[in-house]
Structure 1
């Protein structure tokens, strides 16, 4: 009689330690995200983990440390290229701390955002990274389970949680200033929302108007037609409205790259050359911006740094490394000048 095989034995910490030539304690430090490990050693241990396919025992970790290593991440529009690219960076940053990311798409619904901010009612979730769209401060303060929370994005909900965001006003001012410096004198903007503008629209319009005022150019409300959302069709529709004006713009700043790509299509359909007849600039530096024809000038937030800061802030709260007042952290950005605005 042949005994049935019990299947392959899962690799243990000891197996990883032997493969990497380090102690079990060192492997444990790497798995648990300890900073007290040299980078070369950490990389060697990580290679052994990857080769052996080692997976931490979540239940055992919970019993030993009081945390599971599971964090939740939620965006209002996960299919959006910017959020998708940022999600990849958050997952990579969490993985470096041996954490698992549970993802959700809130659709900007306040009830869904509140449920995420409360940890989905799941005691296995250590903390939450959330980009809120519809949630307000009172709702956030009244959330059920007060677990560690880091907010991303433009919405300012007060000192209720750590927040990581770029300076949208400054970035919008800089990209508009670039268009001014290229010699443009009638610059439109696509991304304003009426009658209920989101924080993104408010801040980016403010930066745009500041740049025009600095250049001594008039702020003409007809040059920023409202949009319903921030997708390609919305950008195309707004551009068509701008092109019907008695005096059309000679450049347009779009509040995200998808709007700019839609606007680019509308300009092409109207027989306009970019940037010779009309220049375009966007915001977010999604991958498509580099490969569009022409390639798109844009604001490039440091997505990797945003993700690293968000994960680090969250884990400092989870591990009680920091329990002070809420922090507002502002990573950098850069202006990437490409074919859509470059003259000569």
Structure 2
């Protein structure tokens, strides 16, 4: 900074003001300082700045599994939202381990960031009190903890799957498979999405059939493929699939097509998440867009506000994003739908 100040002909304090983008610096002076910084290839010492200000300019995003395309695309959206506000992002994945989720939330690495965007999977409503002991500002993402002591940004799981189910019921399909349930779950994504499915059936006067609910533990392509292969072996007729995420839908579609099932002629499919891959599958996959970019923008903004008001805590806020149904080829209404008496025998792989 001494060298920059000498070449620009200004004080060290002015150099600091330019680096920190303080507004009360004349444009001509600011230009001279930036030119000197460029000539010297000077990089500010962010660690030293953090020691002085108590801030690092870094936030953490904790997600369950970066292999899940939804979370990788959410991470991308969060990084762009953070960069627009002058922040960097460290991405941590907790897997499906409760102890690791707690470690990432309360461990020593939390001291390296100014705040945490936290998408819990193993923790639940009963763990809301854990957040009271976290000294770093936190904004919750997802559906596991609804009544925590901090902000919560999430999507409309119930309403989204209700819209997807109504889309298929509106085509005359009456045996719609709910694909991806977690038996016994009420609060998480799977539990809420099953509620939306049941609500759509009830509104349409269609009786709920427990045999048309297919559990899948993990929501990845391979798990969707295995679950569909096992379900086809039961020879239960169905003419529609509402998959609880897109990866499950993609795995299921592959197995159905290998078994000779035509999509959407025999079975129409709708997913959830609207990941980028859905536009390029064959057929392209209809999906619920849950408002991923809105989640990122609002969550980062909430976190910045919490970081800035650390001495005067804010009351908890909740934000539900808008969603929309993206209709593609997998649910194109190209025929009057009648429930099949049986399905083609599955091809065992």
Per the TM alignment, residue 277 of structure 1 is displaced from its structure 2 partner at its CA by 0.8
Q: Are residues 1:100 and 2:96 paired? A: no
Aligned pairs (5 A) from 1:120-269: 120-137=108-125, 139-142=127-130, 144-195=133-184, 199-245=188-234, 247-269=236-258
Shift of the 171–51 alpha-carbon distance from structure 1 to 2, 3 Å rule, reads farther
Shift of the 203–197 alpha-carbon distance from structure 1 to 2, 3 Å rule, reads closer
- The Cα RMSD (Å) is 3.3
- Cα deviation 1:84-140 (Å, max 9, x = unaligned): 010011111111122121111101222221222226444231111110011235545
- Separation in structure 2 between the aligned mates of residue 166 and residue 307 of structure 1, nearest angstrom: 11
Per the TM alignment, residue 235 of structure 1 is displaced from its structure 2 partner at its CA by 1.6
- Given candidates 37, 48, 65, the residue that maps to 1:77 is 65
Question: Unaligned stretches of 5+ in structure 2?
Answer: 9-14, 25-36, 335-349
- Separation in structure 2 between the aligned mates of residue 178 and residue 107 of structure 1, nearest angstrom: 33
74-83 or 109-118, which deviates more? 109-118
- Given candidates 300, 307, 327, the residue that maps to 1:311 is 300
Q: Secondary structure at the match of 2:329?
A: coil
Q: Are residues 1:68 and 2:60 paired? A: no
TM-score normalized by structure 2? Answer: 0.81
- Separation in structure 1 between the aligned mates of residue 17 and residue 277 of structure 2, nearest angstrom: 44
Question: What's 2:12 paired with?
Answer: none
303-312 or 137-146, which deviates more? 137-146
Report how many residues are paired. Answer: 317
Question: What's 1:323 paired with?
Answer: 313
Question: What's 2:34 paired with?
Answer: none
Q: Secondary structure at the match of 1:280?
A: strand
Question: Unaligned stretches of 5+ in structure 1?
Answer: 1-8, 17-22, 37-48
CA contact (8 A) 1:114 1:139 kept: no
Per the TM alignment, residue 238 of structure 1 is displaced from its structure 2 partner at its CA by 2.8
CA contact (8 A) 1:162 1:326 kept: yes
TM-score normalized by structure 1? Answer: 0.82
- Given candidates 304, 326, 332, the residue that maps to 2:322 is 332
Larger Rg: 2
CA contact (8 A) 1:116 1:128 kept: no
215-224 or 188-197, which deviates more? 188-197
- Separation in structure 1 between the aligned mates of residue 40 and residue 242 of structure 2, nearest angstrom: 50
- Cα deviation 1:310-339 (Å, max 9, x = unaligned): 111111011118732111111211110000
- Separation in structure 2 between the aligned mates of residue 173 and residue 294 of structure 1, nearest angstrom: 23
Aligned pairs (5 A) from 1:283-302: 283-302=272-291
